Structure 1
Amino acid sequence: MAASSSAEQTQLQDMEDEDAGMEEREMESDGEEEEEEGMGVENSDDEEDDSSEDEKENEAEIQRLEEQLSINAFDYNCHVDLIKLLKQEGELVRLRKARQKMSELFPLTEEIWLDWLKDEIRLTEEEPNREKVYELFEKAIKDYICPDIWLEYAQYSIGGMGSPGGIDKVRSIFERAVTAVGLHMTKGQTVWEAYREFENAILSTVQPPPGRIPSREEQELLKAQLERIHTLFRRQLAVPLMDMEATYAEYEEWSEQGVSEGVIHQYRKALKQLEKCKPYEESLMAAEPPKLAEYQSYLDFELKEGDPARVQITFERTMAENCLVPDMWAKYNTYLDRQLKVRDMVLSTHERAVRNCPWTMGLWKSYLLALERHGADHHTVSDVFEKALNAGFIQATDYVEIWQAYLDYLRRRVDFSKESSKELEELRGAFARSLDYMKQDVEERFGESGDPSCLIMQIWARIEALHCKNIQKARELWDSIMTKGNAKFANMWLEYYNLERSYGDPVHCRKALHRAVQCTSDYPEHVCEVLLTFERVEGSLEDWDLAVQKTETRLNRVNEQRAKVAEKEANMVRQEEDRADQRRKNRSDKKFQKKTQKGTRAGEKRKVEQDDYHNEWNEDSEQAPKRHRGNGDQTTDEYMETETGLFGKNAPPGYKPGPPGAKKAQQEAAAQRQNDDKPELRNDNCSVFISNLTYTLEEPEAKLRTLFEICGPIKQIRPVFSNKGGFKGYGYVQFESSVSVPEALKLDRREVEGRPMFVSPCVDKNKNPDFKVFKYNTSLEKQKIFISGLPFSCTKEQLEELCKSHGNIKEVRLVTYRSGKPKGLAYVDFGDEAHASQAVLKMDGMEVEGNKISVAISNPPRRNVMDKPGSSRPGADLMPRQVFGSRGRGRTQLSLLPRSLHRQSEPAGKVENGTAAAQNPATTSTAGETKPLSNSDFAKMLLKNSARLP
C-alpha cells in the first residue's frame, strides 16, 4: 500500500510538472501566435525535410566509409572520418564498434582516446560496468604516455573508492601515474597535485572532530596519513617541474615542523636542473607541431645528461607528436635495448613502434630480436613474424631481410648435435616456404626478385654443408642458384668453389671451376687464374694441360668479343662526333650569313651618310680654314673630332662630338679600368674565381658573401655584369688573407640553385700556361670504383648507403653536367683496394630503381693531348699546327683574324709599282698590301683638299 501510494504521488507530481511546463510554454508563445499563423506549419515542415535530408546524406557517407574500410582496413583517415560521423549522428553502438576496430589496427591519439573514454563513462554509470571502463583505460595508457589520460584514469577511479579495496586501487593508479608522467616538466605537476588532493581528502576523514581525544588507533592512522602527504611533497620537490616554487611555498605553509635540510637540498638541485631544461621547454612551446628538430635537440641534451628516467619521458613526449617517424622509433628502441633492458618496457615500446609504422621493415626486425633476447615463447615470435609479412613493405628487399631475421632465429633454436629434431625440420620447412614466398608473392607484387643473388639459398646451403653434413643438398641448392641467372658472375662461382673447398672434394672443386671458366662473363680472367692455381696445387699434368687449354680458348674468345664491342662503341662515338661537327658547322654558317647581311646593310647606310657629309663640306668649305685657323690651341686630330664630328671611317651614325679633351679623358678612364682588372694589380693570392652560376641569380653579391663568409674575412666581392645589367654567371671573391683561399676551394662543385658552382684560383694563364683546372686523377685508381647506368634520381646519400656495406667509404662524387643535371655516373672512393674490388664483384649488374648499373675499377681513358702545343705526332711538321687558348677550342670555330691578314704576302721582287708605294707610305705596306686609313691620314687628306680651294 505504501509503495503504491508513493508511486501514485510520484505520478501525480510528474503530471503537475508537465502541466506547469505546458502553461509556461503557452505563455511564451502568446506573443508569437499572430506571426506564426501563416508560417509556423510551413517552417516546421521545411526544418524536418532539411534534417531528414542531412540524415540521409550522412547515412550514405557512413555506408561509403564502411565499404571502403571493408576493402582497405588500414586506411587511417577513413577510420577517423567514420568515427566523427557516427559521433555526430549519435550512433553509439556503431561508434563503439568503429573505435574498437581502429584500436585493433592503430594506436589512437590522445584526443580520440579521451573522447572515447568520456563517452563510455557517461554510458556506464552503474557499478558493475566500471571494470569495462578500467580495461579501456588500460588500453589507452599503453598507446602513448599522456598525462591527461592518466589524470582522467585516476579521477575516474576515485569514484569507486567506496567499494572494497577502492582506496588502495586509487593509490595504485596514482603511483603508476606519477611513475609514468611525473617527470613531465609541463604537465606532470597536475598529476602530483591531484594525488595530494586525494590524500588530503583522506586526511580529513581520519581526523577526529574538535574537542574529542582520538584513540590510539586513530592517532596511528592520522600519523600515517600525514606521513604520506609529507612524502608526496618531498618526492614532488625533488623533480624539476614548472612552477615548483609555488609547491615549495605551499609545503612551507602546510608543514608545521618546517622544511628539513634534506628536502631543501633536493629542491635546490631540482631547480638547477630546471634552469638547464628551460631553454628546451621554451623552444618547444614556441615551435609549431610536430617540433621534431626541437625534440631532437632536447633528446641530445638528456642523453648527454644520462638520467634514464628523464631520457625515457623525453622520448615519450617526442613520440606522442611524431608517432609516424620510423627513425625516431628506431632510436628509442635502440636506447631501450642497450641501456634500460627492462623486458616489459622494451617489448611494449617495440610493439607500439610497429603499430605506428607497420611499413618499416627495420622496426619489425628489431622487434623479433628483442623478443628472442628477452626469452619470448616461440608462438609469440612466430605470430609477430606473420604480422610482419602482412604489414605491406615498400621494397622487395625488405621481405628478404625479414625472412633472413626469422630464419636466423629458427637456426639458433636447432640443436645440430642431433641428427634430426622438430626444430631442424621446422627450419628446413621455413627455408622452403621463404623461397616459395619470394617467387609467388614478392615477384608478383613488385615485378622483380627481391633476392637476385639468392642469399637465402646460399645460407641454406652453408647450413646443410656445415651443420647437417649434407653436401649433396648443398650442391642441389647451388645448382638451383646458378640456373636463376647467376652463372655469369664470377663471385657466385667462387662462393660455390669455396663451399666445395671447405666441405666437398677436389673432383667437385675442379668441376665447379671448369664450369666457371665457360660461363663467367664479367671477370673471366679471375676464375681462370683460380683454376690454374688450383691445378698447381691439386692437379696432375693432364689436368694442368686441360686447364691451360680451356683458359686460353676462353680468354681468346673473350678478347675477340671485347674488341668487337670496342670497335662498335668507337664507331658510335665517331658518328656522334661527326654529327656534332656538322651541327656546329651549320650554326657557324648561319651566324656568318647573318653577320654578312648586317654588315652589308650597315656599309650602305654609312656610305649614304658620308656622301651627305661631303656634299655639305663642299658647300661650306670656305669657313673650315677660318675655323681651323681661329682655334690655335687644338691639334689637328682634336679639331677634326670636335668640329667636324668625324671619327675615322668607323664613325657611328648620329655621332655627336664631346667637348674639347673629352676623348683624352675617356681614354684615361678606359686605361684605368683596364689597370684595375689586370691580375698584377689584384692580390691573386687572396682571391678565387667563381663561375658556372645561373644568370638568374638574385643579388649575387649577397649570395656569394653568404656562401664564402665561412672561409674567412672577405675584403671584396665583384660579380661581373653585362652592359645591360644582367649577371654573367661569374665573378671574383677576394679575402683579407690567403689562408682563406684553400677553404674556399673546398666549396668547388657546391650546388647553388641547381647548378654546380666552380671555384678555382685566380691565376694569370698568360704567365702560367701550364695551369690545369681539372683536379681529378686520370690514371688507374685501384681504390676507387666507377659506376654508370645510375638513375638520374639517385642521390649521394642513397649511393653511399648502397656502397657502405662493402667497406669504408672516403668520398662519393656524382658526375653532373654544367647545368647541374646528373649524368647517371659516379665515383666512389674506398679506404683500400680490397674493398673496392669486393664492391665491383658484388655490385656490378645490380639493379637500382629499375636501372642495371655497371661497376668497374676507375681507369679513365687518357685525355687527348694530340692537339696541344708541343705534342709530338706523325706528320706534325707537314701540317699547320692549330693552337687553342687556355679555354680550349671555341664553339663557333670562326676565325677572328682580319681577312687582309689571311692573304699570303707577295714576294718583294714582284712589287712593280715601288714608286707609288714610296709616295704613299700611309696606304701601302712593304708587302704590297693596302692599309686602312687612320684618323690622322683622313684629316691630312681633308686639309690638303681645303688648301687647294680658291
Structure 2
Amino acid sequence: MEETLMDAAEPNNNTASDSGSDSESDDEAQTALELQTVASELSSNPANYDAHVQYITALRKQGDLDKLRLAREAMNELFPLTPAMWQQWANDEISLISSSRYEDAVPAIEKLYERGVSDYLSVSLWCDYLNFIQKYDSSVREFSPTAILKARDLFEHALSACGLHVSEGSKLWEAYRSFEEAVLNSMDETDLESREKQIQRIRNIFHRHLSIPHGDMVSTLLTYKAWESEHGNTLVVKSSSTDGISPHVASAYQKALDMLSVRADFEEKIVRSDVPDTERLQSFMAYLKFEQSSGDPARVKTLYEQTITEFPISGDLWIDYTNYLNKTLKADKTLRGTFNRATRNCPWVGELWVRFMLYLERCRGSEKELSDVFERSLQCTFSTIDEYVDIFLTRVDGLRRRILFAKELDDGLEFSLIRNTFQRACDYLSPQLKNTSSLLQVYSYWARMESNIGKDIAAVRGVWESLLKNCGSMLEAWQGYISMETEMGHINEARSLYKRCYSKRFSGTGSEDICNSWIRFEREFGTLEDFDHALQKVSPRLQELQFFRLQQESKNIVSSTDHKEDSAKKSKGEKRKPSSDAPNEESPAKRQKVKAQNKGSLKPNKVENTVTPRDPTSHGEGDMKTKDPTPEKFKQYTDQCTAFVSNLNLKANSEDLRGFFSDVGGVGAIRILMDKFTKKSRGLAYVDFCDDTHLEAAVAKNKQMLLGKKLSIARSDPKGKRKGPAAAGHKTSTTERQGEKVELKGRNTFAVPRALGWSKQTSSSSAGAEDEKPKSNEELRKLLLNKT
C-alpha cells in the first residue's frame, strides 16, 4: 500500500507496454467507480462502518492523500480505529516525509500514534511509535538530555499500558533496554560516575522485567546473566539457575515463574485461533475471573484491555469492565477515557451511556460535559424503548441533584432545564409508551418536580392534564393525579377528578375500583352531604356494572351448555355411525324411522329477536340494541397442563408471551382473553404446555416482569382439584347429560340470577314440583328472553 502511494508521485514509465497501460486504465476506472459508489453510500448512511473501510481502501489505491486524510478523520469521528488502521495511517504519512519538511511532519505523526494507542491495547503499535521517535526525532537520536527524558517517559507509558502483557510485553522491555544501552554507548568513556548510574538503570530494568510473568522468562534470565558477566560479575551464563544473582532478584524471579505456571493454561486458550470467537471470549472471561481473585488491579486492567482489543463490540464486556473500574478506581479521572471508548465502540447499549453520565456527575464533571454525553446518547439507536426512558430519567436525576445539593458548583442551572428535558422526554416517548406504567412514571416524576422545585401548582396540573390527554383510559393515571391533589390538601380538586372519571371505562375491575375509591375518599375527607352525593352517583353505576357482569356470566353458561349438548350429539352420532367399509346398508324402513326420530329432536339453531344487554362501561349512555343472535363457535379447553397468567400488559400479544416463556420451552397454544365489546386484552391469558415439567418451570417465573408489568402466574385448575381462591377462579361450569335433562354444576352457577327459573334445590327434593326441575336448553332460552 505504501508503494501505491509512492507510485502516485513517480513519473509514468514510457517503456510500459500498451497492454499494461490499458490494464492500468481499467484499474483506475474500476477504482473511480468504486469510490463513487461507496461515497454515495456514506452520504446516505454515515454510520456504515464497512463503507468507511471500503472508501479508505479505494482512496489508498488512487493515491489521493488529502482525501484519504479527510476520510480517515471522518471515520474516526464516529468509530475507534483498529491498531492495524492506525499503523497503516502512520506508515502512509511516514512514507511521504520529504527532507524539506522532515521536522514539521514529526509532531503530526506523533499525535497520530498517541491517538492510536489510546483506542486499544496494542504492543505492536507501541513498538512502531517508539521506533519512530528514536528514528525521526533528531533530538532523541542525538541523545540530548531533554530528549532522553522524553523517550524514557514514553517507554514508561508503554510499559504501564502493555508491560504486563504475558505473551508480547517482553518486546517493550527489550526495546527499553536497547534504548538505554544506546544511551550508555553514547556516554564519554571517562565519565565513570555517569556510566555507572546508567549501568544501574539498565540493571533495574532487567530486575523489573524478571519480576513479572512473561513468556520468555528463561531467555530473559540468560540475557541478564550474560549482561552482568559483561560488566564484571562472575555468573554461570548458560545455566538457567539463579545462582549468583542477588537473593531479592532470585526470589522475585521464582515468584514470577510460579505465577506464569498457573496462568499458562489460560494463556494457551486465549491465543488459539482455531476455535470460535464465543469460545475464546469465554476463555478470556475465565482468565479475568482468575485475575480478579488474585487481587492485582494492574494485571486485571491489562487483561481487560487485551480482551477489549479482541472483542471491541461486546456490550456485556464493556459493562463488566466499567463496573470493575468503578469499584476499584471510584471517581478517578482516567475513567473518562474508558467510558468514552465504551460508548464509541457500543453506542447502542443504553446502560453504558447511563453509567457514563453517572460517572461524570460522581467526579464533578461540568454541565457542558454532561450535556454533550446526553445529547450524543439521544443520537443512538437502542434496542428497547426502556433504554431511552432510563437515559432521560438519569439526566433529570442529575439535574435535580445539581440544583438542590451541588450549588457550590455554580453551574447557573435553572429549573427550566429540567422542565425542557421532561418535555423532550414526553414528546419522544408518548407515541411508543401510551397507557404504560413507564410513561406514567415519567409524568408523575415531572409533576413532583414542578411541585417540589418549581413551586407552580398550575404547572403540576398541566403535567397531569397532559398525561390524561394521552392516557385517559388508564386508571393509574387518574389515581396518581387524585393522590397528588389529596397529598397537597386540595380536597375539592381531588373530588372534581372523581366526578370526571367515575363513569369512565377502565380495564378489568378498574371501573368498580374507582367508584369504591370515591366512596372511601368521601368517608375520610368529605362532609355528610359529600358522602351522600357520591353514593347517589356511584350506586347506580355499581349496580349497572354488577348487572352487566351477571348477564355476561349467564350468557357464557348458556353457550357452554349448547356446546356440551352439540358435542354429546356429535359423539353419540359418531359412535353409531357404521364404518366406511361395512358391507351392510340400512334398510329403507330403518332410514325412515331414524329420520322421524331426528325430526322430533331437532332444536332451532337461531333465536329470533335476541336482546343483548347494554354495556355499562360505555359512560352510562345508549339503549339496548338488537343484534344478530347467531352464536359464535365455542371452543372448549381442558386446561390440563395450562398456566393462568394475570396482570398482563394490555399491549402484550401471543408472541410476547411466547418469548417470555422461551427459556422454559414446551409452549403450546396461547389464549389471551379479550373484552367482548372493545376486542382489547383484559390482561389475562392461558398458556398451554406440553407436559407438567415445563408447566412447573413456567409457574416458577411468577412475579417476573414483562413489558413493565409484574406477571402473576399460577397453574390453571379447571376441575377444582386444588383448593383455594386461585383454584376456584379457574373453574368452569360443566353439564351432565341425563336423558332430556341438563344439570348445571360448578361454582360459577352462583352468578345465575334466580329470576331465570333455576332452583338451588338438589334432584332429591320433593318430586312433582315442575318448576323446580332443571330446565332444558330450549326452556332456558325462552326464560332468558322473557326475563331480559
Superposition TM-score, scaled by structure 1 size: 0.58
Moved more, 250-259 or 109-118: 250-259
Match of 2:532 in 1: 545
Q: Please, which of 18, 30, 38 is the counterpart of residue 65 of structure 1?
A: 38
In structure 2, what is the Cα distance between the partners aligned to 1:799 and 1:501? 44
d(CA) in 2 for partners of 1:138 and 1:342? 24
Q: CA deviation at 1:524?
A: 3.2
Partner of 2:387: 398
Q: 1:83/1:300 Cα in 2 relative to 1: closer, same or farther (>3 Å)?
A: same
Cα distance per residue 1:525-560 (max 9 Å; x no partner): 433343333322222222222233333222222223
Question: Is 1:429 paired with 2:420?
Answer: yes
- Alignment CA distance shift 1:473-1:263 (3 Å): same
Counterpart secondary structure, 2:81: coil
Question: Which of these residues, 326, 346, 364, is aligned with residue 357 of structure 1?
Answer: 346
Query: How far is 1:92 from its partner?
Result: 2.6
CA contact (8 A) 2:123 2:168 kept: yes
Query: TM-score, normalising length from structure 2?
Result: 0.70
Q: Is the contact made by 2:643 and 2:715 (CA closer than 8 Å) also made in structure 1?
A: no
Indicate yes or no: 2:195 matched with 1:195. Answer: no
Given candidates 474, 479, 482, the residue that maps to 1:497 is 482
Partner Cα distance (1:83, 1:583) in 2: 75
Q: CA deviation at 1:316?
A: 0.8
Listed as ranges, the gaps of 5+ residues in structure 2 are 1-12, 234-243, 586-637, 665-684, 722-732, 743-788
2:141 aligns to what? Answer: 162
Pair 220,555 (structure 1): closer, same or farther in 2 beyond 3 Å: farther
Three-state SS of the structure 1 residue aligned to 2:17 is helix
Distance in 2 between residues matched to 1:875 and 1:360, nearest whole Å: 59
CA distance in 1, matches of 2:418, 2:734: 69
Residues 3-402 of structure 1 mapped to structure 2, 5 A cutoff: 44-125=17-98, 126-159=102-135, 160=137, 161-162=140-141, 165-206=146-187, 208=189, 214=190, 218-255=191-228, 256-257=232-233, 258-287=244-273, 288=275, 290=277, 291-341=280-330, 343-402=332-391
Q: Distance in 2 between matches of 1:293 and 1:221?
A: 51
Distance in 1, Cα, partners of 2:26 & 2:561:
76
What per-residue deviation string (whole Å, max 9, x for no partner) do you get for residues 605-645 of structure 1?
xxxxxxxxxxxxxxxxxxxxxxxxxxxxxxxxxxxxxxxxx
Q: In the alignment, which residue of structure 2 is the partner of 1:795?
A: 659
The 1:500–1:119 alpha-carbon spacing in structure 2 relative to 1, beyond 3 Å, is same
Matched residues in 1 for 2:699 and 2:340: separation?
A: 41
Residues in 2 aligned to 1:790 and 1:141: alpha-carbon distance in whole angstroms = 49
Query: Hey, what's the Cα distance between the residues in 2 that align with 1:521 and 1:364?
Result: 37
Counterpart amino acid of residue 116 in structure 2:
A
Q: CA deviation at 1:563?
A: 3.9
Given that 1:786 and 1:828 are in contact with CA atoms closer than 8 Å, whether structure 2 keeps it comes out as no
Residues 785, 828 of structure 1: 8 Å contact kept: no
Structure 1 residue 447: deviation in Å?
Answer: 10
Alignment size in residue pairs? 614
- Residue matched to 1:666: none
Cα displacement string for residues 113-162 of structure 1 (whole angstroms, at most 9, x for unaligned residues): 11111111212251221000011011101111111111111111112113
Partners of 2:335 and 2:224 lie apart in 1 by: 37
1:559 maps to what in 2? 546
Give the Cα separation in 2 of the matches to 1:414 and 1:199. Answer: 55
User: Is the CA contact 2:288–2:300 (under 8 Å) kept in the aligned structure 1?
Assistant: yes
2 CA distance for matches of 1:775 and 1:458? Answer: 41
Question: What letter matches 1:476 in structure 2?
Answer: G
> Is this contact kept in 2: 1:786–1:827, CA < 8 A?
no
Letter in 2 for 1:426: L
In 2: Cα distance, 1:586 partner to 1:80 partner: 74
- CA distance in structure 1 between the partners assigned to 2:406 and 2:27 by the alignment: 73
Aligned position for 2:616: none
CA deviation map 1:497-534 (0-9, x unaligned): 32123223222233334444333523234333433333
1:365 Cα deviation after fit: 1.3
Shift of 1:879: 8.9
Change (3 A) 1:864 1:413: closer
For residues 713-766 of structure 1, the C-alpha deviation after alignment (integer angstroms, 9 at most, x for no partner) is xxxxxxxxxxxxxxxxxxxxxxxxxxxxxxxxxxxxxxxxxxxxxxxxxxxxxx
Contact 1:184 1:241 in 2 (8 A): yes
The amino acid across from 2:201 in the alignment is R
Among 709, 720, 724, the alignment partner of 1:843 is: 709
Residue identity matched to 1:185: V
Q: Does the CA-based 8 Å contact 1:397-1:450 persist in structure 2?
A: no
| Partners of 2:159 and 2:317 in 1: CA distance | 25
The residue aligned with 1:748 is none
Cα offset, 1:796, TM superposition: 3.7
Q: Is the CA contact 1:785–1:829 (under 8 Å) kept in the aligned structure 2?
A: no
Residue 214 of structure 2 aligns to a residue in which SS? coil
Q: Is the 8 A contact 1:58 1:85 kept in 2?
A: yes
CA distance in 1, matches of 2:31, 2:553: 71
1:178–1:192 CA contact under 8 A, matched in 2:
yes
Q: Tell me the alpha carbon deviations over residues 297-345 of structure 1, each in whole angstroms, 9 at most, x when there is no partner.
A: 1111112222111111111111111111111111111111121236333
Counterpart-to-counterpart distance in 1, 2:62 and 2:707: 65
Does the C-alpha gap of structure 1 residues 581 and 422 become closer, same or farther in structure 2, counting only changes over 3 Å? Answer: same
- 3-state DSSP of counterpart to 1:815: strand
The within-5 A match list for 1:588-599 is 593-596=579-582
One-letter amino acid of the structure 1 residue matched with residue 267 of structure 2: E
Structure 1 match to 2:504? 519
SS in 2 for 1:286: coil
> Secondary structure at the residue paired with 1:344?
coil
Partner Cα distance (2:23, 2:64) in 1: 19
SS at match of 1:414: helix
Alpha carbons of structure 1 residues 65 and 775: separation in structure 2 relative to 1, 3 Å: closer
The separation in 1 between residues aligned to 2:449 and 2:543, in whole angstroms, is 39
Aligned sequence identity (%): 30
Unpaired stretches in structure 1, ≥5 consecutive residues: 1-24, 26-39, 209-213, 601-771, 801-812, 845-854, 866-871, 882-950
**2:690 is equivalent to residue 818 of structure 1:** yes
1:588 deviation in Å? 7.5
Distance 2:165 2:34 in 1: 41
**CA distance in structure 1 between the aligned counterparts of 2:363 and 2:390, rounded to whole angstroms:** 21
Instruction: Indicate conservation of the 8 Å contact 1:240/1:273, yes or no.
Output: yes
For residue 435 of structure 1, what is the amino acid of its counterpart? C
Distance of aligned partners of 1:320 and 1:422 in 2 relative to their CA distance in 1, 3 Å threshold: closer
Question: Does the aligned pair in 2 maintain the 1:87–1:95 contact within 8 Å?
Answer: yes
Matched residue SS, 1:151 = helix
The 1:460–1:537 alpha-carbon spacing in structure 2 relative to 1, beyond 3 Å, is same
Deviation string 1:416-472 (CA, Å, 9 cap, x unpaired) is: 999x97522222233233334446xxx4xx797998634322111001222333223
Q: Deviations over 1:46-101 (max 9, x none)?
A: 33223212211211111110111011111001111112222233333322221121
C-alpha spacing 1:359/1:576, structure 2 compared with 1 (3 Å):
farther
SS in 2 for 1:190: helix
